[in-house]
Each structure stands twice: as structure tokens, then as C-alpha cells.
């Protein structure tokens, strides 16, 4: 059975998936991500408040444009995983996982029984408002919808092999900023050798179990992408929409003022 999820298809075919993160509330930007050729768009709800219809609108816009809608939710609230999937998300990501048991609970919240505890309802965007459903829909949901966790705390390093062996876990996003803080630094230190070593260990453990690692990058794009794909990252996240726009505006203003 071929997958309909673009992100999974790119990865299973051996490609490098390119995406970005949206911090604004704009469905237009979410739609544009697909038209621009991105494979996925991470819609962040950890640091942005989207417990209203704006999340559903952005998910729908992603699917119209052709980018896989990937929703990040906070840990400790497993019901949000089901809500994101019911709203039409094709991948979820849970923040700040620190050990094996937490990772297991994420997967359980994302899958239907007997593989998990996700509730069944087809009167949602995911169920095509009642036009989908049944055993085939349940099987496809469990097999295709993607589940990811954040690796961003030094506590998790000893559990990496067990975590990536969890059936139903597909990928992780490595978070160097929070990982830096978990080491006692008071600021992000992405290039710190200990942080980079943790990323390499994460990539090795993921590859051993056929799982994928995502990493966010900034400019210079090609140089940074090459750096992280070389150590095994298969999902590359191109900064954030607001950061890119701020950078372009600031650079343009400076160029004009100084000309």
C-alpha cells in the first residue's frame, strides 16, 4: 500500500525531506509552503496558542498546497495528539521527551486499539466528516500517520536505542537550544561539541532502527543542510516563517539605508 503522505513518501524513497516551521497564524503562508515545494510544514502549538479553528485552517491550507501538515504539541497532554490528528494533521511531534516511558505513551496516544488508546470518530476532518471510516481507515491511520518526538534534553541519551526501537515511532526533531540549556548553559550553543555529539548519537540510534532525524537550519542554507545530512539527518527544517521574513526585511532596510 503506497502512502498518501508526502513526507513519509519522500523519506521511504530515500530522499531528504525539506520543510519549515510556521509561527504565525496564516493559512496563506501554510498553503504557500506547499506551492514553494516544501515537503512538510511544522505548525507549532507549543509556543503559540492555537486551541481554536486557526489550527484546522492551517492544516487544511497545507494539504491544499501539498505540504505535509506536522503539528507540534506539548508533552503531558496526550489528548492533544488525538485532536491534532482528528483535525487533519498527517504527522505530530511532542516536545521535551526525556525517557522511554514518555515516548511509549506518545505512540499509544496516536494509535487506535489494540496498538494504543486513540478514540474513534469519523465526524471530523480526518474522517472526511463521516465519509470515511471502518477497518481500512483505522489500519491506514495507524500505518501512515507519522509520530515524532523532540530530543532536546540530555536525560534521554541513555534511552535512545530503546526509544527508536518503539514500534509506531517514526522520527525525532533534535532541539539544540533546549539541549544546551539542559546541560546548564544559559543560552543556545548549537555548535558546542557535546551538543553536536548528542546529535550524532541520535542519528546513529535512529538509523539503526530505520527511523528519521530532523534538524533545523539557518543560512547559509546549502552549507548547513550538507553539514547535517552528512551525519544522518534526513529531515531538514528551513528556519521559521517569521524569522525568514524578519531577516529579509532587515537586510533590505539596511541595504537601502546604507546605499
pLDDT tens column, 23-50: 998 999 999 999 999 999 999 999 887 7
pLDDT tens column, 74-111: 999 999 999 999 999 999 999 999 999 999 999 999 99
pTM of the shown model: 0.95
Measured distance CA(218)–CA(198) in Å, rounded: 20
Q: Which domains does the chain have, with CATH numbers?
A: 6-258 (3.20.20.60)
257 Cβ partners below 8 Å, 6+ apart?
A: none
Q: What is the pLDDT of residue 53?
A: 87
- Site of grid cell 531538514: 236
Q: Contact, 144 vs 3, CB < 8 A? A: yes
Cα–Cα distances (Å) from 82 to 42, 92, 149, 166, 219, in that order, read: 17, 9, 15, 19, 35
Q: What is the pLDDT of residue 2?
A: 56
**Arithmetic mean of pLDDT, 189-207:** 96
Q: pLDDT band at residue 61, thresholds of 50, 70 and 90?
A: very high
pLDDT tens column, 139-192: 999 999 999 999 999 999 999 999 999 999 999 999 999 999 999 999 999 999
Measured distance CA(202)–CA(215) in Å, rounded: 11
Q: Contact, 149 vs 46, CB < 8 A? A: no
Nearest C-alpha neighbor of 42 from the set 65, 64, 58 = 58
Q: Is the confidence at residue 3, as pLDDT, over 80? A: no
**Arithmetic mean of pLDDT, 199-210:** 98
Q: What is the pLDDT of residue 48?
A: 82
Nearest C-alpha neighbor of 69 from the set 83, 54, 59 = 59
Q: What is the pLDDT of residue 169?
A: 98
Measured distance CA(52)–CA(231) in Å, rounded: 39
Q: What is the pLDDT of residue 195?
A: 96
pLDDT tens column, 219-228: 999 999 999 9
Q: What is the pLDDT of residue 1?
A: 44
Amino acid at each position: 500500500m503506497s502512502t498518501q503522505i508526502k513526507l513519509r513518501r519522500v523519506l521511504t524513497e530515500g530522499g531528504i525531506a525539506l520543510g519549515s516551521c510556521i509561527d504565525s497564524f496564516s493559512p496563506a503562508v501554510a498553503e504557500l509552503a506547499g506551492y514553494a515545494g516544501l515537503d512538510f510544514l511544522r505548525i507549532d502549538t507549543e509556543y503559540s496558542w492555537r486551541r481554536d479553528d486557526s489550527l484546522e485552517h492551517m492544516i487544511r491550507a497545507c494539504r491544499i498546497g501539498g505540504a505535509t501538515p506536522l503539528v507540534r504539541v506539548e508533552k503531558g497532554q496526550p489528548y492533544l495528539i488525538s485532536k491534532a490528528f482528528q483535525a487533519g494533521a498527517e504527522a505530530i511531534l511532542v516536545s521535551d521527551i526525556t525517557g522511554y516511558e514518555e515516548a511509549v505513551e506518545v505512540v499509544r496516544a496516536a494509535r487506535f486499539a489494540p496498538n494504543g488508546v486513540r478514540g474513534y470518530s469519523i465526524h471530523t476532518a480526518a474522517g472526511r466528516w463521516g465519509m470515511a471510516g471502518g477497518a481500512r481507515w483505522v489500519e491506514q491511520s495507524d500505518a501512515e500517520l507519522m509520530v515524532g518526538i523532540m530530543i532536546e534534553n540530555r536525560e534521554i541519551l541513555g534511552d535512545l536505542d530503546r526509544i527508536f526501537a518503539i514500534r509506531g515511532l517514526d522520527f525525532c526533531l533534535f532541539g539544540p537550544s533546549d539541549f544546551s540549556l539542559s546541560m546548564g548553559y544559559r543560552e543556545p550553543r548549537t555548535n558546542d561539541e557535546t551538543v553536536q555529539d548528542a546529535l550524532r548519537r541520535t542519528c546513529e540510534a535512529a538509523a539503526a532502527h530505520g527511523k528519521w532525524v530532523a534538524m533545523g537550519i539557518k543560512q547559509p542554507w546549502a552549507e548547513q543542510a550538507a553539514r547535517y545530512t552528512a551525519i544522518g539527518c534526513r529531515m531538514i527544517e528551513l528556519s521559521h516563517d517569521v524569522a525568514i521574513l524578519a531577516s529579509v526585511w532587515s537586510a533590505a532596510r539596511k541595504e537601502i539605508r546604507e546605499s
